[in-house]
Amino acid sequence: MNIREIEAVASKLVVTEFKSGTQLPQEPSLESKVRDSPSTSEGESVRSPKGLRRRIVPPSEDKSPRIDKDSDTSKSVKLDAAAQAHIEKHRKLQEDLTDEMVGLARQLKESSLMMSQSIKNTEKILDSTEQAVENSLASTGHANSRAMEVYSQSLKTSCFTWLLIFFMTCVFVMVVLLLSE
């Protein structure tokens, strides 16, 4: 049985209870709580006790394939304890599954928030690393241009030094030749 079938049976029970004026020995269903509440109307979404929304479908609008629309709704439907236990078991199972899905959704949300925070932190680290690399490249470029300037100056200076040494050697040789005569 799926949740629609369970809700259809429960809605039919609520209608029969209301028409016959008798109460079954079970706690009131969500539909009867909503029906008795002055703040809600038929077909309106309401919050269940666990914080989940549940849409209340009036019996006349229920399109479940198991309910015969032509059947007499004034007939009283009486369920034995086994059927009620079966319905309660399926409701409990559905509520447990819903609670588990809510827990899993909460975990998914928390992990996605953690992942988002991790991505933001990684983005900040990458931005700072990119800035450091840009600064390093700029300083390396400045150091390279300065080194090229020093190299070109040293090349000019070394050429000038070699010419000066050659000239001094010539002058020395001339002085030695002049003195030896």
pLDDT in tens, 66-115: 544 444 444 556 778 888 888 889 999 999 999 999 999 999 999 999 99
Q: What are the boundaries of each domain within the chain?
A: 1-73, 79-181
Residue written as token pair 């015969």: 68
**Cβ of 88: how many Cβ atoms within 10 Å?**
13
Confidence of residue 156 (pLDDT cuts 50, 70, 90): confident
Phi-psi region of 21 (alpha: psi -120 to 50; beta: other; left: phi over 0): left
Of 153 and 96, the structure prediction assigns the larger pLDDT to 96
- Integer Cα distance of 181 and 173 in angstroms: 13
Instruction: Say what percent of the chain tops pLDDT 90.
Output: 41
CA-based torsion, 101, 107, 113, 115: positive or negative? negative
- Integer Cα distance of 56 and 30 in angstroms: 9
Q: pLDDT averaged over the chain?
A: 75
Q: Is 10 within 8 Å of 32 (Cβ atoms)? A: no
- Integer Cα distance of 148 and 144 in angstroms: 6
Q: In whole angstroms, how far apart are CA 45 and each of 35, 105, 160?
A: 12, 21, 96
Quote the pTM value: 0.38
Q: Where are the beta strands (DSSP E) in the chain?
A: 45-47, 53-55
CA-nearest of 150, 169, 148 to 158 is 150
pLDDT of residue 42: 42
pLDDT of residue 32: 45
